[in-house]
Copies of this chain bind each other. A is one copy, B any other.
Amino acid sequence: MKRLLERIDREILASGGKRSRSRAAVIEGFFRARDHVTIEDLTRSVRENAPGIGAVTVYRTLKLLERLGYAKELDFGEGARRYESNLSPHHDHLVCRQCGTVIEFEDRKIENLQDLVTRRHGFHPTAHRLEIYGFCRKCASDNSPERVR
C-alpha cells in the first residue's frame, strides 16, 4: 500500500501535478475503501480522517486516478457513478437489485467470444462492459414464492 501510494505520487509529480494533503487522503481512502464505492460513500469515509475535504476534490481525484490508470468508472444505472480500483485483473459484475451486492467474475471464454464478434464486424474494441442484474442467492431465496406468500 505504501509503495503504491508512493508510486502514484511519483507519477503525479512526473505529469506536472502536486502532492497535496487532501489529494493524498482521498487516494489512500480510495484504496482502503471497499470496491464499487460511490463518490458520496468515499467522501464520507475520507472525512472521518480528514474532515473538511470537499466532495469536489473527491470527484477530481478519482478522475485523476482514472487518467493514470488506477481507477475505473462503473455505472450500474443507479444515477450515481461508482469507482473500483484497477489493480486487480479485468472482470465483469453481477449486481443484485435487492441488496446491492456486487459479485465480480472473470470468464476467459466470454472474452474470447467477444473478440470473435468484434473481429467479425471489423470493429476495434477498446473497452467493454458486461453486467448481469438480478438477485443474489440470499435475496433470491428471500423472494422465493413459498416465503413471499
Contact = CB atoms under 8 A, between A and B. Distances in A.
Contacts of A125: 94, 132-134
Nearest to A101: B123
A77 interface: yes
B133 A130 contact: no
B110 A136 contact: no
Copies in the complex: 2
A31 interface: no
The number of chain A residues touching the other chain, given as a range, is 20 to 34
Contact of A133 (B110, B121, B127): B127
Nearest to A144: B124
A122 interface: yes
Interface of A: 75, 77, 94, 96-97, 103, 105, 107, 109-110, 113-114, 117-118, 120-137, 140
